[in-house]
Amino acid sequence: MARQKTIFVCQNCGYKAPKWLGRCPDCGAWNSLVEELAERGHRDREKRQPSLARPQRIDTVAIDKEARDKTGMSEFDRALGGGVVPGSLVLIGGDPGIGKSTLILQVVQRLARQGLRTLYISGEESVQQIKMRAQRISADSSELYLLSGTCLEDVIDRLDELAPRIIVIDSIQTIFTESLGSAPGSIGQVREVTSKLMSLAKGSGKAIFLIGHVTKDGAIAGPKVLEHLVDTVLYFEGDGSHMYRILRAVKNRYGPTNEIGVFEMSDKGLEEVGNPSKIFFEERASDVSGSVVISCMEGTRPLLVEMQALVCTSSLAMPRRTTIGVDPNRVSVLVAVLAKRGGVALSDKDIFVNVAGGIKIDEPAIDLGIISTTASSFLNKPIPRKTVTFGEVGLSGEVRGVSQTELRLKEAVKLGFSRCLLSKKSIKTLKTTVDMELTGVSSVTELLEVLF
């Protein structure tokens, strides 16, 4: 195939150059030129067949009910918003070695077992290496095909004879298109390959999964540059030392975002964690200060996690505020609120806040948890084991209600908690009764009185 004409475009200002340049002569940005296909000119337009259908009235558009293919792996289906949508392009990003290839192999194995023909294309491993991994997770469906290759055009040639319904590209950084001269993994390549795959998916109704490694800044482009191009972006997170992995939907054209699926890495691949709340506070030490369980929402699902704090006297001029799993700025603000409104002297204390289990949480409902556990550690008084809490705290020390109160409470009841500390307003808005003692607090001072 003759190489198409390419140009180099500055990503900063749009300047076009026929050759790569280290610095854009127009805006002066360094290393901003990326190879792209030259625009298809008028000639193409004349040759083009009208491929667009005619505009359709919205009330006449028919959709198949339940057009999704369920993988049967409920944590994965949940993150996707209920299953695989035909014709969708899904990006799964994550750090190298976190388990992306393992996850996707398990997913397509299940789809293949239902009779959906699947092609797994790897640019990283040979077919034998994939088979070795497949043996560990006992994937051996006859509808699962493996291909090792890195050239997109070669791969597309193979699609006609096989006619797969599901395609996996592992990873996007190793596949290149012949139309660009730049190296595989460069921004230009990754973008062009993705947009070609997008039109393949939309044109043929095949669902395509792309694996993308999150990389440090460098010559290799990561999933961030693709987020706007694909339908769904899932991130597979977790740190290598913890066995729990979280699959998080950060963008989804076909479902809610912020949904998470929880998995555990074992020697037989990834196992679903059916009741994630339980694992995040299961190994809680009994009756120690600086620990409380909070009820937070991850997407549509309530999740109970243990929030820990350690307050100790600092020997530094500027005491430390270190956090794991929560935003350090949020902790700094809450510590200031606790000091000012609650009268707890923390200015000479090192404060460490940690969410147990290696999960990251980012929602205002954790405020009350951070305040309670910090105060508990400072006073060295444990919070009763069966107490759960959630609520937002403002700068004047007021406690505010958060959304989904009922769901959060129900999850806590289910897991055996007997008392909840929450904002007074949240209690008033409750529509159903819950089988636990509800203590309403309206300010940080009141919270401290109730607790200690």
Residues of this chain that bind Mg ion (CB under 5 A):
101
Q: Using CB under 6 A, which residues numbered 211 to 270 contact ligand TYD?
A: 265, 267-269
Q: Which alpha helices (H) appear in 252-321, and where do they start and end?
A: 276-281
The binder of 98, among Mg ion, ligand TYD, none, by C-beta within 5 to 8 A per type, is: ligand TYD
The binder of 99, among ligand TYD, Mg ion, none, by C-beta within 5 to 8 A per type, is: ligand TYD
Site string for ligand TYD, 85-124 (x = CB under 6 A): ---------x-xxxxxxx----------------------
- Is residue 410 involved in binding ligand TYD (CB under 6 A)? no
- Output 101 or 174, the one with its CB closest to ligand TYD: 101
- Output 6 or 215, the one with its CB closest to Mg ion: 215
- Output 101 or 179, the one with its CB closest to Mg ion: 101
| 399-400 and 392-393 beta bridge pairing | antiparallel
Among 136, 224, 242, 253, binds ligand TYD (CB under 6 A): 136
Rounded least distance, CB 99 to ligand TYD, Å:
4
Site string for ligand TYD, 41-80 (x = CB under 6 A): ----------------------------------------
Rounded least distance, CB 265 to ligand TYD, Å:
5
| Number of residues in contact with ligand TYD under rule CB under 6 A | 15
Rounded least distance, CB 437 to ligand TYD, Å:
43
- Output 173 or 423, the one with its CB closest to ligand TYD: 173
- Output 173 or 179, the one with its CB closest to ligand TYD: 173
The binder of 165, among ligand TYD, Mg ion, none, by C-beta within 5 to 8 A per type, is: none
Binding site for ligand TYD (CB under 6 A): 94, 96-102, 133, 136-137, 265, 267-269
